[in-house]
Structure 1
């Protein structure tokens, strides 16, 4: 069964002058010549993305869109019509956002966080800026320290609301952020704390998140990175426990807390030396 808006692996049914026909169990789906991999022939299996072209025909492509069905992505407006806006999502045909699915009217050249959905009436892919109805903190199965994918949603007085795994919302507090972030940014993170509805102020499950990885695994990744950067910089780096947190994050991509914890462990393992002007590889 084919899935519109997703990647499908289909067998090449036959070759025509303008492309390949892929077997969908019916009349077949066209993969235009410009997207045919070199050497592809009847009988081969190809992984393709399926969507409707400008003439409303189901078509295949080996291009990779910036998002697939169900994804929440930040996309740029490339044209406007009285009916809505068109977004660049990396394919020949732009992605349509009906006016009814916009929050306050999109502007040409603007970047907007949208969810890709399948219009039930037309069967075509479209996007909506009205993401809230798709997000819920009911029936949360996540646990503390679970690794998750985060999308920055909006700024609040205490930090940023983030979208967790395209389904839930959580809070990334200011004291856990060590670089500039903005709506639409994607970052890996983990669950720091889950507050049950009966204990939360909102009456719903509340989730606190942190960028990066938790505990020992996080320091292991950081340790390898610090050692690599030392080797790439002649064995010495001018960073220590009194360095500015922003400077540490800018260079290492980690918080000052992680940097101190990791360099302390590397020092105990006699892999580095800590000097007055930084850290250096042990000889």
Structure 2
């Protein structure tokens, strides 16, 4: 199947601002004389007038003619999304992408057969033959190289799309790929999940290793907030110290012992807590600048 990740005709598959040119019995004509598109009456905003600019999404109708709508799709051409399978027909699966007309995921562009009710991570693109937006679940060719300014420890947004023996492949910040490794003691998020993650390592070959656990300064700040929230909930005293067993710390706070020790060390230096043999206590109201170690 011929396809491309760009518009075959100006504006197809994208949200854009178009000017109202004239009114017709079926609705409004938008665009410019060389490239006109119909906005059907059912989508015409109240008080829309000739000369106004409207923000619309342009796609193809059942006869492959450009048509505009004021509805917003979940994703437009060039974007990744998690969509739900509505039905399966002779040529592929149909996905709910937020418009009245469902989005086709052709059989040749599926990694594996999907069924109604399932979620699938796809890229929206244009079919060169019909000029219509379609979906593909074969994503690798559309992932960019990591940006040059990407840094280890950086927070990123993840869309998980394929499980492997080592972890789950992720689309990072809607642009490039990475691998979220399985972590001992943590349940792996499901394929299709959106997560905030962190860059664990950037390999020499450009591949990106990911983690859900903050690293570096972000890790200390995150653990510090966890400890402060736990102190607030428990009336200013935790039955944990830097001598507590790792299992007790993880069970109570969801932190590793290393992260906990770094957090209470930072809070102690800020004079916000005192650390005893078997407890950690806030000094006065949380946020007080004074404190001392027993």
8 Å contact kept, 1:235–1:281: no
- Select 2:181's aligned residue among 168, 173, 180: 173
Q: 1:89 aligns to what?
A: 97
Render the CA deviation track for 1:30-73: whole Å, top value 9, x for unaligned.
33344444444333323222212334332222322221212222
- After superposition, the CA RMSD in angstroms is 3.8
Q: 1:143 aligns to what?
A: 150
Render the CA deviation track for 1:229-272: whole Å, top value 9, x for unaligned.
977x69669796665547645xxxx8886666445434543456
8 Å contact kept, 1:151–1:164: yes
1:56 maps to 2:64: yes
Question: What is the number of residues matched between the two proteins?
Answer: 270
Secondary structure, aligned partner of 2:68: strand
8 Å contact kept, 1:29–1:60: yes
Q: 1:115 aligns to what?
A: 123
1:18-97 pair list within 5 angstroms: 18-26=26-34, 28-97=36-105
2: CA distance between counterparts of 1:36 and 1:230? 55
Q: 2:208 aligns to what?
A: 207
8 Å contact kept, 1:223–1:266: yes
Cα distance change, pair 63–218 in 1 and its aligned pair in 2 (3 A): farther
Q: 2:290 aligns to what?
A: none
Secondary structure, aligned partner of 1:28: strand
Cα distance change, pair 273–108 in 1 and its aligned pair in 2 (3 A): same
Which stretch has the larger CA shift, 84-93 or 257-266? 257-266
Which stretch has the larger CA shift, 176-185 or 186-195? 176-185
Query: How far did 1:89 drift?
Result: 1.0
Which stretch has the larger CA shift, 265-274 or 157-166? 265-274
- Which structure 2 residue ranges, 5 or more long, are not aligned? 1-8, 286-294
2: CA distance between counterparts of 1:62 and 1:219? 46
Q: Give the TM-score, by structure 1 length.
A: 0.74
- Which structure 1 residue ranges, 5 or more long, are not aligned? 198-204
Secondary structure, aligned partner of 2:148: coil
2: CA distance between counterparts of 1:61 and 1:281? 59
Q: Tell which structure's C-alpha radius of gyration is larger.
A: 2
Render the CA deviation track for 1:128-186: whole Å, top value 9, x for unaligned.
1222333465x863532354332213233332222234443322222388454011112
2: CA distance between counterparts of 1:181 and 1:255? 19
